[in-house]
Chain A
């Protein structure tokens, strides 16, 4: 009868180890899938960020080209002495009109410095900050998350080994009929607890 109780007890422990092992394997598999998803998100963010960088450059340099034309017309316009002749006055007006039109239509006047230079860097940085406001352009957090999930999957798989050790000692204890079976059952039980703790810690750490 006493023997029966011991067997039932160890069988329950083995069943528990099996279930915990299965749960751990499942969680490891899920973590692995999440790692893949995070990598996918990271790659998408990476593609989007490269797209934004190129688009911002295209637009900012488009503005810089327009500014260059503005600069030419503006400088030439102001260099002409309007009082020298009617022709000069007309030419000055023509050049300054074009410069003003360029300022209104082809580049944002906000980025003109006080000295008349165009602050391309400011435009690029403001555009980049704007892009970041509503778009997910930073792949690093996704990749970090992916790495964390991968690490979690690895460690959960490691804790499977602890459950396997527990399983081994519990099975061994069932096979024996002497005093050692209690020692092996104890080791199996300890390994079960250790594996459970490891699993719970890593399950909730990521």
Chain B
């Protein structure tokens, strides 16, 4: 090696030395930033955990407090109140006054018995308003802060991750520079060039990281959201929407606010607005099944069946065990007139319900209480569809506009009626026996006659008179029917639906014991009561024998 070459080599090594020193500075800066980001991530994770624990404590303390207010104070107040009414009914004012004095003394025990929760005029309290004030709003704030801090911690984690990657790349650069000194030909410049390129990219990348915004929801937006949540909890949806508007004006991508505003809009029948909010919720990154479920349902109500089917499909892909979504899917298919598809979906839903019940019982557990709710809702939604098609909408009917249902209506109605029966029988069989209904009903039951007893002046029975339409104040209705093919010991259940919803305290379960054939009467009554009468509305009475719906009928209670 000539002196010139040695000199050149020496200069090269000095040049590499400078590059290595420069890279070391970059690496040190990156280490500092990585450390900073990592510490921020840890800090926000700690805050999130703290909020989570505080939210839990808030909820538990609130629930325990409310449990006393509702079940301890209000229940006692209510019992005494009923005793006052009973005493007044029979004209025993002294006794009524005695109960009243005791009842009124109770009011100091709980805010639930005081204003603004207790309304003196109606003598009724507002538990949801009290719960919202007591802990719902505050625990919502804390849970939102938990989610907020968690997502900030995740963002810092991602940044720290990126800096770790950059540090490893700087290590590569240092290695490339070092290696280049072991090579004496032009290849060394490839190593140097590659190292320099990686360094420059790293520098720009690092600088860009400074400008990545970390989305933290402002505290005021969270407070507005929590207020809205508390109002929605009380069913004050119009006011809740205003609070959600406020939260969204501060943070337009606040997914939870969008979702809950959508839900409130759905409740006040603003379907267009609800659909927009649920779509925006998805766009804001919250794409869980509850959002998809509600969006699918909203599309169904709007008559956008194809969109509903597509969204339900996504929800079912995420979680195929959602019976409510499955039956909504079937409903949309049915509304399009795709009866065989709807039939297949209903069968899948019932199979899934059977699987869930069977799996739970095998494990010695119970299926979710929502199962019964969703199965009841499935038949209620079908009943609504039948009412819409038939043009006999009741106040509780929920479904798309009649004009949106373009398919063959008679076929839809016929299928729906059959399906309602099947779902009801499945629901009952699964709830009582944990398995689908078996066999067929080989019994005959005449149409129900709703009757009232006519008594003579001595209180002895004279006859039954038909009483389909009853006046308010009625306490007792008889269901008269002829039957044949029954066997003693068969499982017998009576269900009564008031305005589309089952009145479970009126449910009767027993074993059939009246023989094989004949006539029978079943009384639906508030026996011995001085206070209870049938509320106004439509009463659907159903008789199940060994889980088969063998007859149903309807009576009404009206103003006069």
Chain A residues packing against B (C-beta within 8 Å): 4, 7-8, 11, 14-15, 18-19, 21-23, 25-26, 29-30, 33, 36-37, 40, 43-44, 47-48, 50-51, 54-55, 58-59, 62, 65-66, 69, 73, 77, 82, 86, 89-90, 92-94, 96-98, 100-106, 108-110, 114, 121-123, 125-127, 129-130, 132-134, 174
Contact = CB atoms under 8 A, between A and B. Distances in A.
Nearest to B182: A11
Contacts of A129: 360, 365-370
B201 to A, nearest CB: 14
26 contacts: A4-B184, A8-B185, A11-B183, A15-B175, A15-B176, A18-B172, A33-B161, A40-B150, A51-B60, A58-B60, A66-B71, A69-B75, A90-B86, A90-B92, A93-B528, A97-B82, A100-B526, A101-B79, A101-B531, A101-B532, A103-B505, A104-B505, A106-B75, A109-B507, A110-B372, A126-B367
B53 interface: yes
A8 B182 CA distance: 8
Interface of B: 45, 48-49, 52-53, 56, 59-60, 63-64, 67, 70-71, 75, 78-79, 82-83, 85-87, 90, 92, 146, 150, 153-154, 157, 160-161, 164-165, 168-169, 171-172, 175-176, 179, 182-185, 187, 191, 289-290, 360, 365-370, 372, 504-505, 507, 509-510, 526-532
A184 B71 CA distance: 82
B171 A22 contact: yes
Between B87, B183, B360, B368, the greatest number of chain A beta carbons within 10 A of the residue's beta carbon is seen for B368
A69 B75 CA distance: 10
Given A15-B176, A129-B370, A130-B370, 16 more contacts: A22-B169, A22-B172, A43-B49, A54-B60, A58-B67, A59-B67, A97-B531, A98-B82, A100-B526, A100-B529, A101-B532, A104-B505, A106-B71, A125-B365, A129-B360, A174-B182
Contacts, number: 175
Contact of B504 (A14, A48, A94, A110): A110
B67 to A, nearest CB: 5
A100 B85 CA distance: 14
Nearest to B52: A47
A93 B184 contact: no
Given A7-B183, A8-B187, A19-B172, A59 B360 contact: no
A3 B169 CA distance: 30
A62 B70 contact: yes
A125 B363 CA distance: 11
B492 to A, nearest CB: 11
Nearest to A122: B366
Contacts of A59: 63, 67
Which of B367, B505, B510 gathers the greatest number of chain A CB atoms within 10 Å? B505
Contacts of B530: 90, 93-94, 97
A109 B504 contact: yes
Nearest to A21: B171
A133 B87 CA distance: 47
Nearest to A106: B75
